[in-house]
Chain A
Amino acid sequence: MTDAAHPGTPDHGYSLPPSYLGAGTTLRSWLLTTDHKRIGLLYLASITVFFLIGGIAAAVMRTELMTPTGDLVSADTYNRLFTLHGVIMVWFFLIPAVPTTLGNFILPMAIGARDVAFPRLNLLSWYLNIAGGTLALVALLLGGVDTGWTFYTPYSTLYSNSYVTLAAAGVFVAGFSSIATGLNFIVTVHTQRTKGMTWMRLPLFVWSIYATSIILVLATPALAIVLAMIVGERVFDLGLFDPTRGGDPILFQHIFWFYSHPAVYIMILPGMGVVTEVLTCFSRRKVFGYEAMVFAILGIAIFGFFVWGHHMFVSGQSTFASLIFSLLSFVIAVPSAIKVFNWSATLYGGHITFEASMLYALGFVGLFTMGGLTGLFLASVPVDVHVTDTYFIVAHFHYIMVGGMVSAFFAGLHFWWPKITGRMYSEGFARAAALLMFVGFNVTFFPQFILGFMGMPRRYWSYPPEFQILNLMSSFGAMILALAYALPFVYFALSLWRGRMAGDNPWRATGLEWATASPPPRENFAEPPVVDSAPYDYHPAHAEPTEREDARDREDQDDRPEDPR
């Protein structure tokens, strides 16, 4: 009877159930919710708290590093700070960030589903995540952990007098959350796609979360077991990694990096998905090379499991092993490069507008390219030997994690904020924050490449005075960055009560999540939508795209009464 692809548009004059936000306002209705959208918001709240804690640690570290002599905090405190920063940011911010917030909120809607396959498991994931985070924070309050987020043995097992066991237990528990979330998304994508949503019509955001979930499920257990072994050593005096009893500390590194390298892709793949959605929407273009993008995502997910040894080129592993890992690390650069080129090509012939989320997405492409290119340095053994464990590495992975993943997270948050809250934020402030973040990020981390090349090792509480100028620059950049991160809190908060109503589809984006009300009803769609076209249907295939205004008109004429099967 009605347009299934656009239910709930007020103009159409039929009523919808109340939005998911109106389905109860008590604390209980939030804490016991099984609505994927509410769970997404619970995650958004918890990762924001963790992001602030990790960020404060970073701020103290950058302040400390303004002078070469360690005069703000003691060496032990500094060691606890970088461990805290790493543990919190990696496991309680970066890994859950996109999949559990935007993934939870958007993915079921993007495939036309009512919810994820296992809604109660989804809620359990969140509780496990904050339980793990709480354990880690308790370790912090009791006096901290000083092993670095990598927990290298035998330091972590035999020498550290800090709360390693508690922190490891926290990460272990959070690991269950990762596995449960990954499992849930895989099953959801397999079983909850709406009619007509074939695999090759999935938005690339969905593909990227799907690939991420596979890594979550197959890599996280390796971390879990190696942490269990560390706890076993510390609590029960096992000798698994104790060299005096014949144990081999390098074995720890192998198992740890078997998880932690794929974990890098857990962090970056969802970001890639978000950026694809944003770039296509604001350039009014179909994505360039959809199939290649899908295979690149899957290729990265699979190859990501076979490159862990490049973290160990100087550990004493055999030259032959290093060469194999080096080769595979170069190979995995290819799918990443394909994605960058395809994003650039997507812009060709578009009608590009520069909303805040587009600015973040464009920034992502640039910063990710820098991170990826410096990855080539690290893939080649003789170059890695000099720059590994220096600030070059620190800069490299921050370009991927912060420049890439955090930019993408903000791109997605700005893109879907109107859908999540039903309100628009101040576009001007948002653009300013995006530019500030780009500038602040580069001022913070670019000098660290030079520091690393000059030979400043990472995890140094004090450093030789010749490194001071670049460190000062970096700390100065960190202040800009901190300001840029503070801004969104302000305008997002303001948007909640001052913001203009967004309407169902403020960006005129394709994608099923835009085909329902903002904020969406509890069931997402009045009736299950039906899909009859490829994703990013901004213009007819191989025809020239049209401007957004035109597109709006077209859409209105195009309000085809969908034939509901």
Chain B
Amino acid sequence: MSGLNEPFQTLARQRGAAELGIWIFLASELVFFGGLFTGYSVYRFLYPDGFLAAGAETNLIIGTANTAILLTSSATMAVAVWAGREGLRRHVLWGLCLTSLLGAGFMVLKAVEYAEDIRKSLVPGAGFALPERGAEIFFSFYWIMTAIHAVHLTIGVAAVSLAAWRLWRGRVDWRGTAFLHVLGLYWHLIDLIWIFLFPLLYLLGRGG
């Protein structure tokens, strides 16, 4: 089982290429979310009161719990990557499984939160609950930002689970290639995006 693919001659060079590739991908992801953050900032500036009022309506408890979960998952992911470098197969497997479970846990909590948001009529459109001007825009951003993040996380959970399975069946050269490193970087990006989303969507409007 050699992880060397066309057109590479050496594993080291292939590893370098894969790492460069994922960093470029992450840069493009930042521009993608950057569009949302720009829009958020513009409206936050236009409607400070509406944003404050709306920000107080999100579920702080679930948001905080989810932040903790994702941070922990980043740690377990880092363990998996570290163990991969050291060649500790069992640790890698454990790390990946925990990461994927934590990611799934996040999604479950998020689903509970979405259900509650819908019950509280926090969905933009006719019948939106909050009267303040700008509150609806805040929730437009809330939904689109968390939804896109959730899509990324779903892909992440699937990728990590698949990786764990392939590793368990011995179908991947996790020692020689950048396989784990690339996966880890993607996971950390999802975490990083959430670290930005959390204050924008949950902590806003809770001061004082």
A–B contact via C-beta, under 8 angstroms = yes
Within 8 A of A (CB), among B1-58: 5-8, 13, 16-17, 20-21, 24-25, 27-29, 31-36, 38-39, 42-43, 46-47, 50
Query: CB distance A226 to B17 under 8 Å?
Result: no
Interface size on A, residues (CB 8 A): 43
Residues on the B chain within 8 Å of A192, using CB: 7
User: 1/0 per residue A243-267: CB within 8 Å of B?
Assistant: 0011110010011001000000000
Within 8 A of A (CB), among B47-93: 47, 50
Query: CB distance A187 to B39 under 8 Å?
Result: no
Residues on the A chain within 8 Å of B20, using CB: 186-187, 190-191
Is the CB of A221 closer than 8 A to any CB of chain B? yes
| Alpha-carbon gap, A226 to B43, bound state (A) | 15
Within 8 A of B (CB), among A190-236: 190-192, 217-222, 224-226, 228-229, 232, 236
Interface of chain A, main secondary structure: helix
Is the CB of B187 closer than 8 A to any CB of chain A? no
Is the CB of A30 closer than 8 A to any CB of chain B? no
| Alpha-carbon gap, A183 to B29, bound state (A) | 12
Answer whether A187 and B21 are a contact pair too, CB < 8 Å, given A240-B137, A246-B46.
yes
Is the CB of B144 closer than 8 A to any CB of chain A? yes
Query: CB distance B136 to A245 under 8 Å?
Result: yes
Is the CB of B133 closer than 8 A to any CB of chain A? yes
| Alpha-carbon gap, A165 to B191, bound state (A) | 30
Residues on the A chain within 8 Å of B42, using CB: 248, 251
Query: CB distance B34 to A183 under 8 Å?
Result: no
- Closest B residue to A238 by CB, please name it: B140
Within 8 A of A (CB), among B133-148: 133-134, 136-137, 140-141, 143-144, 148
B-binding segment of A111-119, A139-147, A354-362, A512-520? A111-119
Query: CB distance B140 to A239 under 8 Å?
Result: yes
Residues on the A chain within 8 Å of B29, using CB: 221
Which residue among A179, A192, A222, A246 has the maximum number of chain B CB atoms within 10 Å of its CB? Answer: A246
Is the CB of A9 closer than 8 A to any CB of chain B? no
Residues on the A chain within 8 Å of B176, using CB: none
Is the CB of A34 closer than 8 A to any CB of chain B? yes
Residues on the A chain within 8 Å of B32, using CB: 221-222, 224-225
Answer whether A218 and B28 are a contact pair too, CB < 8 Å, given A191-B16, A239-B136.
yes
- Closest B residue to A191 by CB, please name it: B17
- Closest A residue to B13 by CB, please name it: A191
Interface size on B, residues (CB 8 A): 40
Query: CB distance B133 to A115 under 8 Å?
Result: no
Least CB distance, A529 to chain B, in whole angstroms: 14
- Closest A residue to B22 by CB, please name it: A183
Query: CB distance A237 to B124 under 8 Å?
Result: yes
| Alpha-carbon gap, A182 to B28, bound state (A) | 11
| Alpha-carbon gap, A217 to B28, bound state (A) | 6
- Closest A residue to B24 by CB, please name it: A183
Residues on the A chain within 8 Å of B207, using CB: none
Is the CB of B125 closer than 8 A to any CB of chain A? yes
Least CB distance, A359 to chain B, in whole angstroms: 36
Which residue among A118, A119, A217, A245 has the maximum number of chain B CB atoms within 10 Å of its CB? Answer: A245
Which residue among A119, A225, A248 has the maximum number of chain B CB atoms within 10 Å of its CB? Answer: A225
- Closest B residue to A113 by CB, please name it: B7
- Closest A residue to B29 by CB, please name it: A221
Residues on the A chain within 8 Å of B134, using CB: 246
Least CB distance, A523 to chain B, in whole angstroms: 9
Residues on the B chain within 8 Å of A221, using CB: 28-29, 31-32, 34-35
Kindly identify which residue among B8, B34, B36, B133 contacts A246, using a CB–CB cutoff of 8 Å: B133
| Alpha-carbon gap, A98 to B17, bound state (A) | 24
What are 13 A-B residue pairs whose CB atoms fall within 8 Å in the complex?
Answer: A118-B17, A183-B24, A217-B27, A221-B29, A229-B39, A229-B144, A232-B144, A236-B123, A238-B140, A238-B143, A238-B144, A246-B133, A258-B35
Q: Would you list the 3 A-B pairs with minimal beta carbon distance, nearest first?
A: A225-B35, A221-B32, A237-B125
